[in-house]
Amino acid sequence: MAFLTYHNQILHAEDVPLPTIAQHFGTPCYVMSQTRITNNWQALDQAFNQQPHSICYSVKANGNLSILRLLNELGSGFDVVSVGELERVIAAGGNPHKVVFSGVGKQPHEIRRALEENIKCLNVESMAELHTINTIAHELGKHAPISIRVNPNIDAKTHPYISTGLSDNKFGIPIDEAENAYLTAQSLENLIIVGIDCHIGSQVRELEPFAETAKQIRLLIASLRAKGITFEHVDLGGGLGINYHHEESNFPSPQDYIGILCDNLNMPELEIIIEPGRSIVGNAGVLITQVIGIKPTFSKTFAIVDAAMNDLIRPALYQGWHDIVTVKQGSPESNAVYDVVGPVCESADFLGHERPLNIEAESLLAICDTGAYTNCMASNYNTRPRAAEVLVHGEQITLIKPRESIEDLLAGEKQCL
Ligand code: LLP
C-alpha cells in the first residue's frame, strides 16, 4: 500500500487521516500522494545512470493539472495523444519542447497546433500521416520533427485491450515496413527525422517483452544507419506494470526495467525516451468510498458503496484488480465476505468480488492503486457527478479538482432547451 499506513488503526495517506479528507471533501474522493509520485519519477530517472534520457510522462494516465505541474517541476517531459492533452501540459506550465505526440488518429488541427508549439517530436503511426504532417509543416513554413512508431509484433503478455505491439493491433507501422517509411520521410521536404518509436502495451509484468523490443529496435537502427538515416533519440514507450496484488512479490523494479532497456539497446550515446504513465502515478493514488448499505442475498452479500464503475472502470473493462481495505482497521476475525459494488444500474458495476472486510453501513473503504486510468476515465453515467481530487504532501491537503455538481452536468444542455 506504499504511502498508506495505519496510525492508531486509522488509514493515513502520507500523514493525513483519510476520514479527515472524507469529512472535508465528501466521498467518493481520489487522493494522490505527492511524495509517492516524486519517488516513482526519481527512481526511473536515477536508474538511467549515465545514459542520456528523457522521461515523457504519459498524460493519459492522470492528466490533473496539479499532477502535471509537479512532474514538470521534477524535470519531466510529456507524452500526449491529443491536442487536449497538449493544452493540459501548456496550462500546467510544461515546456512543449519536451512533448512527444503519439496517437493513431491525429487530426490536422492537432498536428498544426503541435507544430506551432514546436514540440519535440510527432510519433507517426501511418504512411498517410507522414504526408499529412509534411503538408501542414509546409503550410506553416516549418520542418516537422518526426519519428516512426514501429510495431514490432511482440506479445506484451498483458490484457488484450491494452496490448498494442502485435501485428493485428491498430498501432504503428509494421517493423518490416519501417525502412520504406523512413526512406519516404527522408524524401519529404518538410520533415526532419529525429527518432524511432515503439510502445508494446500497458501493465506489462514481465521484462522479457521489453528486452525483445529493445533488441529489435537496435537491429533496425543499425540497418537504417547503414542507409544513411540517423537518430537523435529512441523512444521505447511506456508500459511497466505495477503490483496491484500486494500479497504477490517478484515484480520488476524500475531499476530492473531501465537496466533491461539500456542493456538490450546497447547504445550508451543515444538519448532514450520512455513514456511511463502507470508506473509513476498508479500506486500513488487511493479512492475513498463510503458504504451506503449492506445487502445480503441467498448466494452472497453485497456491500453497496458510493463509488461506482463511472469512477473506476478498470474492474469492469479489464477485469482489473484493486485491493480494497477498511479505513478503520478492524480485526480480521470479524471479516465477512462481500462483493463491493456501486449504485450504477449494471451488473458490471463492481469494484471487487469476494473481499473479506469488517464493515457496516457508513464505513469508509480505501480502494488502492487508483492513481492511473481512474479519474481520467471517469464518466457521468447515471448522471453521477465526477468525484473530487485531492493531493496530499506530509500533513498538507490540497484540493486539485472540485467535485462536479449536478448543476455543472446540466448546464450545457439547459442552454439548448
Ligand atoms: N505511450 C503510449 C503510446 C501509450 O499508448 C500508453 C498507454 C503509454 C505510453 C503509457 O503506458 P503506461 O506506462 O501507463 O502503461 N486504461 C488502461 C491502460 C491503457 C493504456 C493506454 N496506453 C488501464 O486502465 O489499464
pLDDT at 139 over 70: yes
The predicted pLDDT at position 153 comes to 86
Does the predicted model carry a pTM greater than 0.95? yes
Mean pLDDT of 111-126: 98
The pLDDT value given to residue 383: 98
Nearest CA, atom 24, ligand 1: 373
pLDDT at 154 over 90: no
Residue 229 has pLDDT above 80, yes or no: yes
Q: Closest residue (by CA) to atom 8 of ligand 1?
A: 238
- Span from the CA of 213 to the centroid of ligand 1 (angstroms): 16
Look over the chain and give the mean of its residue pLDDT values, rounded to a whole number. Answer: 96
Minimum-distance ligand 1 atom for the alpha carbon of 61: 14
- Catalytic residue flag (residue 56): no
Catalytically annotated residue among 345, 368, 376, 416:
345
Quick check: 1 pLDDT over 60? no
Q: Which residues contact 176 (CB under 8 A, 6 or more apart)?
A: none
* Structure confidence at residue 2 (pLDDT): 65
- Is residue 357 pLDDT above 80, yes or no? yes
With residue 187 as reference, give the H or E element that holds it.
helix 178-187
Closest ligand 1 atom to residue 279 Cα is: 13
Atom 19 of ligand 1, nearest CA residue? 162
How confident is the model at residue 163, as a pLDDT? 76
| CATH class of segment(s) 4-32+282-414 | mainly beta
Ligand 1 proximal residues by C-beta, below 6 Å? 58, 61, 79, 102, 162, 164, 199, 202-203, 237-240, 275-279, 314, 318, 372-373
* CATH assignment of 34-279, among 1.10.3210.10, 3.30.390.10, 3.20.20.10, 3.40.50.410: 3.20.20.10
Q: Which atom of ligand 1 is nearest to the CA of 81?
A: 3
Q: Which helix (H) or strand (E) holds 210?
A: helix 208-226
Residue nearest to atom 9 of ligand 1 (CA): 238
Give how far Cα 61 sits from Cα of 67, 78, 79, 235, 279, Å: 11, 11, 10, 18, 9
Let me know: does 286 contact 247? Beta carbons within 8 Å. no
Q: For residue 203, which atom of ligand 1 is closest to its CA?
A: 15
pLDDT band with cut points at 50, 70 and 90 for residue 42? very high
pLDDT of 393 higher than 90: yes
416 pLDDT above the threshold of 90? yes
Q: What is the pLDDT at residue 141?
A: 98
Q: For the segment 284-324, what is each residue's pLDDT rounded down to a tens digit?
A: 999 999 999 999 999 999 999 999 999 999 999 999 999 99
Are the CB atoms for 154 and 165 separated by under 8 Å? yes
pLDDT value at position 219?
Answer: 97
Percent of the chain with pLDDT over 70: 99
Give mean pLDDT, residues 51-78: 98
Span 74-85, mean pLDDT? 98
Task: Check residue 170 and give its pLDDT.
Answer: 83
To 10 degrees, what angle do helices 108-116 and 127-140 make? 50
Question: How do the domains of the chain map onto residue ranges?
Answer: 4-32+282-414, 34-279
- Give the pLDDT confidence score for residue 156 in this predicted structure: 81
* Cα(318)–Cα(242) distance, integer angstroms: 15
- Return the best residue to mutate from 37, 40, 57, 60 for the ligand 1 pocket (most ligand atoms within 8 A of CB): 60
Digit-coded pLDDT (tens) for 168-224: 778 889 999 999 999 999 999 999 999 999 999 999 999 999 999 999 999 999 999
User: pLDDT at position 50, please?
Assistant: 95
What DSSP line would sit under 34-80, residue for residue? HHHHHHHHHHHHHHTTTS-EEEEEEGGG---HHHHHHHHHHT-EEEE
For position 51, what pLDDT does the model report? 98
Q: Does residue 250 register a pLDDT over 90?
A: no
